[in-house]
Chain A
Amino acid sequence: MTTADGVAGSIPVTPRAESVGKPKLPRRIRDFARRNEEHAWRGTAWVAVVLPLAALVFAVSVLAVKAWPAIRVNGWYFLYGRNWTYGSGYGTVVHTGGVAHPMGSQFGAWAIIWGTLASSIIAIVIALPLSIGAAFALTERMPTWISRPLGFTIEILAGIPSVVIGLWGILTFGPWLANHVYPVIADHMPDVPVLRYFRNPVGGGEGLLSAGIVLALMIVPIIASTTRDLFMQVPPLPKEGASALGMTDWEVANKVTLPWVRSGIIGATVLGLGRALGETIAIAMIGGASLQIPHTVYLPFTTVAATILSQLDGALTDGTGFAVATLAELALVLAVISVAVNLIARLIVNRTGRVGAPVGGA
């Protein structure tokens, strides 16, 4: 191992051997550099690793400071209210608790938060079974010459910019769904409590279900490639033993493979959920940007992220700056949701095992 290996073979016998033949620096400088190299590494690395923490703290404090006036005026109504109006655009300013805002402005973001949660849940419900099934098909049943290119296709899907997926969704996929798929579903749905939301009207392809499906397509690579890597890490002996005991493929999968990697799949799912919650541009393109809770799953809606993106121009016209502060409050809500999801995932994973390999990692 040590002799044949290219890396180990290139190690000089002593550090000094490397400097032979090079123009020599004055000995004192060289010794100083050698003595302090470790300090330099440790110092830079420490600064680098503290930066994410600093950025996170900075981001949350900027949001909190910026959103504070909006939090004071909007109160709890922001979380349950459904009315989102900018109020008088003609300079009539009123003061509530010392904070200036346009007369008649009222910001209740429940419909927006609802849209974020609903689209992400739809995406997870579609993506999770598809990913696990596909990962099984790729790892357990296929020869390498087929599964390699297919796995690479999934990685490509992970790398496709969300704006390109959004473009395809709005121009090709959404209209196709609205013309050929939704009418079939809608016409056959009974008028019972939950399924009622799947009845007519089906709209034009911009809406909650279209966005959910496209989101699913975007998080499938995250879940599927992690799950595939995890399946590959399951040692073959337990699986072969189970087969030898007479278990069918389904029983081996259900009783051996899946329990082995459960916590990793949970971790990957929550990573995907985080991506879905924060996805902006694709939703802004195919969500339809309606600030109301839709009557059927096919109709336009919006999410927190898409609203922050699409409402900035409108908010900047508010001379009091209150609308911009409200957008900061919206961003804070999204940040809190995503941090909470992340921490819950870590809790689950830490209790049951370790997280799977990161997406697309070597």
Chain B
Amino acid sequence: MTDLFKSELLRFRLWTAAAALVHAGLLGFLTRLVDLAQQPLQVYQIFGISYAVIGTLLGLYQMGSYRRPNQWLSLLHRPLHRLRIAGALGGAAAALLLAAIALPIALVALYQDTLTARVVDLRHWLLPLSAWLVGLVGYAAGSYAMVANRRHSFAVVVLPVLLMFTQASGLALLAVELTLLAALAGLLALVFRPDPVAMPRSFAAAAATALPVQAGAYFLIWMLGFGVEMGWTIAGTHPLNMPVPPTGGYIEADRAEGKEILLLGLAGSRDPEAALWREQIALSDVVTRYPLRGLPKRGELGNVAPMEFDDGERHLRWVFSHDRMRFTGYGTRDGRAHGELGVGDNLAAFPAPTLQYAGGYLFNANAAYQYDSGQQRIFERVRLPQGEVMASPPEPAGDNLLALSDRAAYFYPGREASNGVDLLQPLLRVPMPGAVGNLSRVDMIELLDGYLVSFTYTWGAWSGALQHPFQQVVRVDGNGQVREVARRTLNLDLPVAYTTRIWWLSPVLRTLCLGAQELYAGRDPLRADPQPVPRAMVWLALVSCGLSLLGALWLAARLQLSRRQRWLWVVLCGAVGLPALASLWLMVPPRETLPVAPTAHPQPATA
């Protein structure tokens, strides 16, 4: 095993050295331009995709070179257990990816930590490990795709896509990466044998190898749905591509200007003041807020947004350190360290990772802060009630400030906000009528004694996660009394069978996907759970599963399956639905029927 391991190291040593040099050079160049530790999530995702692709290419090439019949025979026909051979190849690939991917990142982190005043937290030291795991996940997927039966093995590439959608962060993300790697390594171990294209003998192993095929088929069928949208677009009937969106629908609500959405909300109001408000809307400035979709989490490997802000007057940059839970400063001109900033005069630690919002306030999940350049201090200005999290940091709304939590809208006194540094007390609290995860916008105008506020819930309508979009308009008077003045149900615009196809195609796989997405992740208060689908869609799912079951009954009888396996497949297809039927068709070869009589030879050739 060690010999094979060394042999593979020898084989790829030059390529690895070249890749490591190019990688280190690229990171070194970039780190001279920007702080790589403070990039937005998309930058880390691009790097992560690159590492996954590098790992995949290595797996495809390495296994592809062995997968031709004679090479495969030479590789496996030796006095070593097949898994030790796989371990030698995989171990060598892991060492090579460590050198090409993780080592350059660690070197750049070391450079930043020791030779610059930039912040390097523990989470940054975990980045090489995470990148390495991502590369290994790609390698395992590429290897499996090349070794297993290529009729269906390339479906495995859908599994690493989980890393793009996982809600886990920090150590939990590493756990997800490890879990995914273990699953892919397990799949590879199942097929890494002399006859890798044959179906595993046990049903459990067959079901395990069927999972990526089903996930791939599920994803593919779901994607084919976009063909329907293309058809609507070509026909000119797609609601999203019409010059004027359908009346009363969620698309109209999403696209409406501030004044329009308030007028649309009030259209059905029987409130005696409604006519007056319509006139006021036409004359007022409408404030529109869009809630945040995510908050920074302590120890996360990436950043929702760069965790830093600049003090232009003093030429300082303050970077939030997750380890110290304070801002660490350095000069933008001289690059020298410039101390720390906490909350208030005693520089207390922030309760959660804090970053700057567009409006100038710093915020975290619990509170909002203001930086005073003159005093070089950060003061807490807004604190949300216990149990609520920030959905939109404070911003001016007329004379006052408006902030959103996951449960309510808060108005704070604008004058006090401008003239002091004390903690502000809310003037008004307006409870939200729905889950903030479905809230797409909040619109408001200032009245003489209060506000007219519109909450529009359409987030998730397109993806089928929201079944009941609506708009509510409330009147808040100066005493904080909240009164609903209008409420309307919004249309989904697209057929429900289309938007919810991700569910009815396979409720089991949908549940599995959501579970994988939430694996090891804490609950995100800014996300809403998918709403139950209409009863008609439940029937559609049952019909789909029933058709799959009947199809499996017909198909399984014609495939190389034992009686027990046949019935297990039928049950699986009935439970999982059409993607399982697709996997059955792709994975199990047809039953072989040998002729009972000796074969007849053709007429002999004569000279």
Our verdict on whether A and B bind, yes or no, reads no
Contact surface of B with A, Cβ cutoff 8 Å: none
